[in-house]
Amino acid sequence: MVIVFYRPPKSWEEIEAEDREKAASQGITYTAWVEKRAKKKARVIPKEIRREVLARDNHQCVRCGAKKDLTLDHIFPFSKGGSNTPENLQVLCKACNFSKGNSVTSKKAETNKNE
Ligand SMILES: [Zn+2]
């Protein structure tokens, strides 16, 4: 049996008052708290976008072609203002995403064979 609780819709004043309380409890201003919440929400990639990017990249890693452990990667980092649009997203497997994160280009020292 499913019990559904109906709550009367809150007024904007009530919602704002609650948000201000939450902000105060975290020791930040109301504006900072609203911004923080907006960022948190934006970081989550909507399901439709996920599906679109996965379909576009044939459900495989764009670097190595792996079809397991796929993740969506922001081409332009989200932390630097990159958006959640399909153009800024690509499919990477965990291994490639991890190596991209480190972005260590280890060039093997070339050995001189023509001695
Ligand atoms: Zn890969």
Domain extent listing, the chain: 46-102
Using CA atoms in the order 45, 94, 51, 37, what is the torsion angle rounded to 10 degrees?
A: -10
Residue 71 has pLDDT above 70, yes or no: yes
pLDDT score at 109: 35
Place of tokens 């079809």: 67
The alpha carbon of 15 and the centre of ligand 1 are apart by a number of angstroms equal to 44
The alpha carbon of 110 and the centre of ligand 1 are apart by a number of angstroms equal to 26
Q: Give the residue with greater pLDDT, 60 vs 12.
A: 60
Using CA atoms in the order 15, 16, 19, 20, what is the torsion angle rounded to 10 degrees?
A: -150
Alpha helices in 26-66 (DSSP H): 30-43, 47-56
Mean pLDDT of the chain: 83
pTM score over 0.85: no
The alpha carbon of 39 and the centre of ligand 1 are apart by a number of angstroms equal to 28
∠ at Cα 12 (8, 17), nearest 5°?
Answer: 100
Strands (E) across the chain are located at: 70-74, 89-93
